[in-house]
Amino acid sequence: MRLFQAFLALIGISILIFVLVRASGDPTMLYRSSMATEEDIARIKVALGLDKPIPEQYWIFVTDLAQGDLGESLIKKRPVTDMIVERLPNTISLALSSFVVSMLLALFLGVLGATRRDTFLDNGVKFLAILGQALPGFWVAIMAILVFAVYWQLLPPAGTGTPAHFVLPVATMAFFLLPGMMRLVRSSMLDVLDSEYIRLARIKGLPERIVIWKHALRNALIAPLTAAGMIFALLITGAVITENVFNWPGIGRLSIEALVSRDFPVVQGITLMVAVVVLLVNLLVDIMYAYIDPRIRYQQM
């Protein structure tokens, strides 16, 4: 059922992009140089399959996609797929490490904030979260470079290679991701702590430690999990920005390089690939959901 819906969504997105591509004007415009003749244009049209009817064009577009063929870059004249595959590991390593760091911190600080409300620690964490939500990520990154790389020269300002190169990008990403995630954990934890079954757990005489980390946390995770899709979207957004600030050779950087040179197939390819990943992530979330919440597990059986 879920798979079916994901499949439908994929078709929807592919149609949307297809329409966007065609609606954006005559694709031959992109190839046309001032010296191209009418015949040249017609030739390009045939080469691109533009002489065929629209549904057939869409079919070709989709079958190409299904075979992993995302077209060819206008500038580099290389298959888009190759370009993405080449850059992907960098993005994954950056996104994954940032995600793990911020998730762990969010859980820890969120729970702490909810259980020690209005203490010095809670207020400190809240203050950082407020700053994190207000200051633009790219600016924070630049200022971090200024302080840590230019003045103190502790860390490299940009690029990849050593573990030290990870520190600033991951920290900026975490600064960007953490507030939202932490707020989610904190507020859902507060909701749960207010519930009757937590009261009952305390009536049983359970120590606070068990009440919170066993009874409350598992229920409190359900709400943030519904937002996992959004967190993933945030992760990609963060990656695009961070990669650009730190000259990190990932797909975020690639997409902006393509934007600058108006290399349409590359941007389109990245968007499509991300769409597929988004759907996969959401499927994964559904599975995890069922693991945490027995109500859903039993419904589907």
Q: Could you say which residues in the range 53-92 bind other proteins, by CB under 8 A?
A: none
> Would you count residue 278 as binding other proteins (CB under 8 A)?
yes
CB closer to other proteins out of 59 and 139? 139
Task: Provide, rounded to whole angstroms, the least separation between the CB of residue 230 and other proteins.
Answer: 5
Number of shown-chain residues binding other proteins (CB under 8 A): 86
Answer for which of 199, 213, 280, 288 binds other proteins (CB under 8 A) is 199
Q: Which of residues 99-118 bind other proteins (CB under 8 A)?
A: 117-118
CB closer to other proteins out of 40 and 283? 283
Instruction: Choose among 278, 284, 274: nearest CA to 252.
Output: 274
> Would you count residue 95 as binding other proteins (CB under 8 A)?
no
Taking CB under 8 A as the rule, which mask of x and - marks residues 247-276 in contact with other proteins? --------xx-xxx-xxx--xx-xx--xx-
Round to whole Å and give the CA distance between 264 and 21.
Answer: 9
Answer for which of 67, 205, 300, 301 binds other proteins (CB under 8 A) is 205
Stretch that binds other proteins, among 33-41, 100-108, 133-141, 159-167 (CB under 8 A): 133-141
Task: For the chain, count helices (H), then strands (E).
Answer: 16, 0
Sign of CA dihedral 77, 80, 86, 88: positive
Answer for which of 107, 170, 173, 240 binds other proteins (CB under 8 A) is 240
Round to whole Å and give the CA distance between 138 and 140.
Answer: 5
> Would you count residue 171 as binding other proteins (CB under 8 A)?
no
Answer for which of 96, 230, 284, 288 binds other proteins (CB under 8 A) is 230
Three-class SS state of 72: strand
For residues 22-58, one letter each, b for 16 or more C-beta atoms within 10 angstroms of the residue's C-beta and e for the rest, the string is: eeeeebbeeeeeeeeeeeebeebbeeeebeeeeeebb
CB closer to other proteins out of 37 and 295? 295
**DSSP string of 165-202?**
HHHHHHHHHHHHHHHHHHHHHHHHHHHHHTSHHHHHHH
Stretch that binds other proteins, among 51-59, 81-89, 90-98, 289-297 (CB under 8 A): 289-297
For residues 229-246, one letter each, b for 16 or more C-beta atoms within 10 angstroms of the residue's C-beta and e for the rest, the string is: eebbebbbebbbbbbbbb
